[in-house]
Amino acid sequence: MSVADQPTHARAEPAGATRPGMLGRGCRRRLSGWGRTEFSRATVIRAGGPDDVADTLASDAAARGGVIARGAGRSYGDAAQNAAGIVLDLTGLRGVLAVDAQRCEVRVQAGVTYAQLLAELVPRGLMLPVIPGTRHVTIGGAIASDVHGKNHAHDGSLARHVVSIALCTPAGGLREVSREQEPELFAATCGGMGLTGVVVEATLAVEPLRTPWWALDTDRTGSLDGTLALMSHDEGHRFSVAWLDLLARGSRMGRAVVTRSVDWTAPAPAGEAPPRTSAEQLEAPARLRIPRGFPGAVLAPPLIAAFNELRWRSFPRRERGRAVPLAPHFFPLDGFGEWNRLYGARGLVQYQFVLGDRHTATLIRCVELLRERRIPTFLAVLKRMGPGTGAPLSFPIEGWTMALDIPTWAAGLRPALDAVDELVAGAGGRVYLTKDVRLRRDLLDAMYPELERFRAQRAIADPNGVLRSDLGRRLGLCRTAT
């Protein structure tokens, strides 16, 4: 899907306002992230190949206004926006170039989505080790965000499984980087928010897939303490996630539906569709699409609280070994097309933070603070994380991560999140830059202590500061090392 095909968060200028951009192929567009907040206008150019990327980075227009790459537009914040500059749409680079089943590797272009790639891999009996929460993320964007999944404690983030990257930098043009070849630039690029270069291609490690089914265990908990206790003592599951009810009152706040799973090892469930159906479903359209102009006011806290009550009760108290196919297991929200419209024209903030294992008290305090400030959290997800990769801007650290969906109309939202930021930073935690749209710059150094290491690599790859984004300017990431 190109930027032009994303009506909810990439809008063309009114008739008569579209004008030629760089290389005669660009047009002015109004862009936002998936949260549909903080719009800005830029000249969008759709790259047809690596030469287009290199030419754009070397252009006079890029020197004036800067360039940032954009994939499917699924970053919640402003990471793939560049006000008054150039946004390079990479969704045209969607080729699966080579699949090596013997070496368990795949070579792809940056604009390939998880849905497109899995549809190629699953019928061959192969699988990606790290799967994010939506199938519509591009591989280039996933690398720039160093995405993680429900199995981070077991398999780490995507960077662990990236073999090499074809990276186009303003200073060096197209180059291959890996842990062996330019390891520091490789590390700075994984999670580097597109500010060290434009990912054009990547080679990823894949793994054998016996059957696209997972054995799912489900438990209901009655409180946040109970949820944390259950998830702290894993029973050998590879995948683990909890949906939290943060609108429940009193001691029930933080009650959860905890789902944990392992790879399916038994024969495929009797009477179920053959494995190839899962691949077909990955590229199938959503079952339900949220219409344009959906009134966000419909989602009032009492309604969401009632829905949460029904949802919590709809799950079994304890269930073991239920067979779940690939798409529903990894991508439950993708069944609703353009679900971000549910929050109305003002959009949503998805706030995600991570804290170390020793700081569960701080995690609980963060939730309590939002409750005290009367910030309605409509969706909350809790996961365990394992050790990070050591990349300077990669988000994961060992411990707990919580992601919260909050409507932007919530009174006092920014001051409340600023207060949570301070708690998180004070405990050695951090927020996820891919989803951020409002973090204060002064807290970035505390959250990402290896920031100067990132800037040192940026100074080599992009000494003139061609790569720029709204996120980068807001947080000072466009600066090079001092």
pLDDT of residue 14: 33
Percentage, residues of the chain above pLDDT 70: 91
Could you count the other beta carbons within 10 Å of the beta carbon of residue 426? 12
Give me 101's structure tokens. Answer: 């089943």
Sign of CA dihedral 40, 109, 387, 455: negative
Question: What pLDDT sits at residue 270?
Answer: 64
| Neighbour count for residue 342 (Cβ, 10 Å) | 17
The lowest-confidence range among 28-42, 68-82, 254-268, 272-286 is 272-286
Pair 133, 75: CB distance under 8 Å:
no
pLDDT at 296: 83
For residues 336 and 327, give the distance between their C-alpha atoms in angstroms, rounded to a whole number. Answer: 13
Mean pLDDT of 378-393: 97
Asked if pLDDT for residue 7 goes beyond 90, the answer is: no
Q: How far is CA 417 from CA 18, 241, 242, 349, 404, in A?
A: 37, 23, 22, 10, 11
Q: ∠ CA 9-135-11 to the nearest 5 degrees? A: 10
Domains of the chain with bracketed CATH:
96-209 (3.30.465.10), 213-264+275-440 (3.30.70.2520)
User: Residue 278 has what pLDDT?
Assistant: 64
Specify whether the backbone of 191 is left (phi greater than 0), alpha (psi in -120 to 50) or beta: left
Of 16, 19, 43, 15, residue with least CA distance to 29:
43
- Cα separation, 188 vs 245, in Å, equals 36
d(CA 194, CA 197): 6
User: Biggest alpha carbon distance in the chain?
Assistant: 63
Residues 385, 152 contacting (CB under 8 angstroms): yes
- DSSP codes of every residue in 135-198: TT-BHHHHHHHT---TTHHHH--GGGGEEEEEEEETTTEEEEEESSSSHHHHHHHTTSTT-S-E
What pLDDT sits at residue 214?
95
Q: What is the pLDDT of residue 114?
A: 97
Tell me the mean pLDDT in the region 325-336: 92
- pLDDT level of residue 8 (50, 70, 90 thresholds): very low
Structure tokens at 311: 């949802």
Q: What is the DSSP letter of 89?
A: E
Is residue 23 predicted with pLDDT exceeding 70?
no
Per-residue pLDDT of 406-452, as tens digits, reads: 999 999 999 999 999 999 999 999 999 999 999 999 999 999 999 99
Closest CA to 35 of 330, 434, 422: 434
Confidence at residue 2, expressed as pLDDT on a 0 to 100 scale: 33
| C-alpha distances out from residue 374 to 51, 256, 416, 438, Å | 51, 20, 9, 19
Q: What percent of the chain has pLDDT over 90?
A: 84
pLDDT above 70 for 480: no
Please, which pLDDT band fits residue 335 given cuts at 50, 70 and 90? confident
**Using CB atoms within 10 A of its CB, is residue 465 exposed (0-12), middle (13-18) or buried (19+)?**
middle
Structure tokens of 471? 């996120």
For residues 125-130, give the mean pLDDT: 97
Residue 137's nearest CA partner among 52, 290, 34 is 34
Q: Which amino acid is at 60?
A: D
Contacts of 311 (CB under 8 A, 6+ apart): 243, 245, 257
**pLDDT, tens only, 339-363:** 999 999 999 999 999 999 999 999 9
Res. 368: pLDDT tops 50: yes
Gap between the Cα atoms of 189 and 201, Å rounded: 13
E strand or H helix at 320: strand 318-325
Cα 284 to the chain's mean position, in Å? 21
Average pLDDT over residues 235-262: 96
- What does the pLDDT average to over 87-100? 98
CA distance 404 to 383: 12
pLDDT band at 297 (very low <50, low <70, confident <90, very high): confident
The answer to whether the CB of 329 falls within 8 A of the CB of 260 is no
Residue 1 pLDDT grade (very low, low, confident, very high; cuts 50, 70, 90): very low
Let me know how many helices (H) and strands (E) the chain has, helices first: 15, 22
State residue 356's pLDDT score.
98
Q: ∠ CA(159), CA(386), CA(423), 5° rounding?
A: 105
CA–chain centroid gap for 174, Å, is 25
Which residue has better confidence, 25 or 308? Answer: 308
